[in-house]
Amino acid sequence: MNDAFELPAPPMLCRIGVGILGILVAASAAPWAYYSLSHFGGFDWGLMGFELLTILAGVFAVLLAMGKFQSGWAIGVTAISGAVLVALVFGLYVGFIMAKQTDFPSLAPLAKYTLLGRLAAIAGFFLFASIAVFIRNRASYPFIIKSALCIAPVIAAFALMRLNIGPGAWINNVLNTPPGTGAASAVLSITLGLIFIILVSASGHLLIRAYECGRPEHLKNHS
């Protein structure tokens, strides 16, 4: 008797999205790989290595989009996003932005946009992988909604503080009270910190529960 359980294929939209992101990520590494050859006064093997890793991650993303790997699709996409992130931090960020940006200011804007673009691609990879898991079982939807409701106040608070408007402006004024005169600032900091930690933890827990609904054993029970 065959007890093997085959997971449903990822949605076509997710596959197309991952393929497009893979192409864009790989393409974004091409100029930096070129610059690392001799533009910085010699061969920058560190930057070159991480850019090659980025290109390889993009190639694997395209292969996943084409259906070359039949099992572990969502995990594979998540691993790709992790590889891109590691290469981004130790390659472009550490290797150029932290070490060479001052000496090569003309490349600083390109580095900034490349960094932001790859961060967006990483978020996109994670989103498509999540959708591929969540869509397997409708039981995951309530957990996703509850997770979003928990994290929404945290995002809203940080946005208001960043824009310095409404309640965010009031929070900033209290927190910026000079040291030694800010009892209210200390109380507010501790209170907000505890609330944010609770909300983020609850959101993460609910998101994990949503992912668990896409595991094979859960799908068997609902089939």
Angle, helices 12-38 vs 73-87, to 10°: value is: 20
Looking at the structure, do residues 124 and 213 belong to the same domain, yes or no?
Answer: no
Identify whether residues 115 and 174 lie together within a single domain: no
DSSP 96: I
Three-state SS string over 27-86 comes to: HHHHHHHHHHHHCCCCCCHHHHHHHHHHHHHHHHHHHHHCCCCCCCHHHHHHHHHHHHHH
Q: Are residues 19 and 104 in the same domain?
A: yes
* Residuewise pLDDT in 10s, the chain (223 residues): 445 556 677 889 999 999 999 999 999 999 999 999 989 888 999 999 999 999 999 999 999 999 887 678 888 998 999 999 999 999 999 999 998 999 999 999 999 999 999 999 999 998 998 888 888 888 888 999 999 999 999 999 888 888 888 888 888 887 777 655 567 677 777 888 899 999 999 998 998 888 888 776 656 565 5
Mark whether 101 and 173 lie in a shared domain. Answer: no
Domain count, the chain: 2
Structural domain containing residue 203: 138-223
- Boundary (domain end) residue, out of 135, 158, 189: 135
Does residue 122 sit in the same domain as residue 182?
A: no
Cβ atoms of 51 and 87 within 8 Å: the answer is: yes
